Amino acid sequence: MKVIELKMTVTDSNDRDAETLRRELGERGIFLINLMSAPGSGKTTLISRTITDLAGRAKIAVMEADIASDVDAERISALGAESIQVHTDGMCHMDAGMTRAGLDGMDFSGGEIVFLENVGNLICPAEFDTGAHRNVMILSVPEGDDKPLKYPLMFQTSDALVITKMDAAPYFDFDLGAVIRRAKALNPGIRIFPVSAKTGEGMSEWESYILSEREDG
Amino acid sequence: MHELGIVKHVIRTLHDVAEENGVSRIGSVTLEVGEVSGVVLEQLVDCWNYFREKDDLVRGAPLFVETIEAVTFCTACEKTYGTVAHGKTCPFCGSGETYLLTGSEFSIKQIEAE
């Protein structure tokens, strides 16, 4: 029996698939944003508000990834946006192959911004490239300002951090300055957007960011 | 479960490797896993033993795991220490300005090809 030395990281095959998917989507004019967060951070509410605010300025489609159920996709399609529900069958993250399969089930006319709402989890989604053009982490005020200390990889792999439920900040011991400092220590280039999808605070900065990043590709 | 997805990725990668090297059957697989890679070895082996029976390339192949010790470096006092025992805070000087040297690895080290 012959021994073959490999020293390959386990995610090698996924990394290749992700690069291919990212390039193909770019060629079709589709901009994919991977949204990652803990469960209950307000991802679907943030997406809903963004769809409403950008109506007429951007075509937004949404891929909801969950272990089971389709409650999130129902909320999105109620807004008239193209959406699909992907079930991961127990898997705790989306990979490039699953993302491709989900996108294949959607109708695009070109120029869409697609939000991939990843499985609610701050660990494994950070380890698997989905093929997205940007990775965005969502952190809600009630989760606390110490999250960067607990889940450093998520902060390191994200291009932007959206801090949601800012309207609830007065009721929690949430130090926005501490989050910004801790996140920047892990990832100096990370863009940070404190928002409230309820009051609209900070939403226009977040939406301008999406539109300008799409121009950059 | 995290390990389920990882085993699927390992098997996919092994198929790529087998094709590149003209291998039709793999006799064993050796992984290198860091102590703080976040993988639960018992679950990893359970998932492997389940999936290997569904795939002709790796049917019956044992999975060997070599553990790599997690070691953290302190930038304040420039000493190293065991991550599992002490975490992010340096046990010598109490600084939190530390980073992981080894321990997050998860790679396929080698395979035996039949």
Flag whether pLDDT at A12 surpasses 80: no
Q: Is B79 part of a structural domain of the chain?
A: no
- The confidence band for A69, taking pLDDT boundaries of 50, 70 and 90, is low
Phi, psi of B23 (to 5 degrees): -100, 135
3-state secondary structure (DSSP) of residue A50: helix
Which one of B1, B107, B111 has the shortest CB-CB distance to A90? Answer: B1
In-domain check, residue B86: no
Do the Cβ atoms of A6 and B16 come within 8 Å?
no
**Domain positions in chain A:** 12-216
- CATH number at B7 reads 3.30.2320.50
pLDDT, residue B1, reads 57
Strand residue runs (E) in A79-206? 82-87, 113-117, 134-140, 160-164, 191-194
Query: Closest Cα to residue A38, out of A118, A120, A94, A135?
Result: A120
B107 Ramachandran zone, left/alpha/beta (phi>0; psi -120 to 50): beta
Parent domain of B42: 2-69+103-113
Please list the residues that pair with B72 across neighbouring strands.
Answer: B81, B100
pLDDT digits (tens, 9 = 90+) for A99-110: 999 999 898 888
If interface means Cβ-Cβ distance under 8 Å, which residues of chain B face chain A? 1-2, 4-6, 9-10, 12-13, 16-17, 21, 23, 27, 31, 38, 88, 106-114
- Please list every residue in chain A whose beta carbon sits closer than 8 Å to the beta carbon of residue B10: 10
- Show residues of chain B in contact with A68, CB under 8 Å: none
Size of interface A-B (CB pairs under 8 A): 71
- Indicate the fold that domain A12-216 takes in CATH: Rossmann fold (3.40.50)
A-chain CB neighbours of B27 within 8 Å are 1
pLDDT digits (tens, 9 = 90+) for B18-52: 999 999 999 999 999 999 888 888 889 999 999 99
Which amino acid is it at A40? G
* Residue B93 included in any domain: no
Cβ contact A4–B111 (<8 Å): yes
- Summarised one tens digit per residue, pLDDT across range A148-193 is 888 888 999 999 999 999 999 999 989 999 999 999 998 999 999 9
Please report whether residue B91 resides in a domain.
no
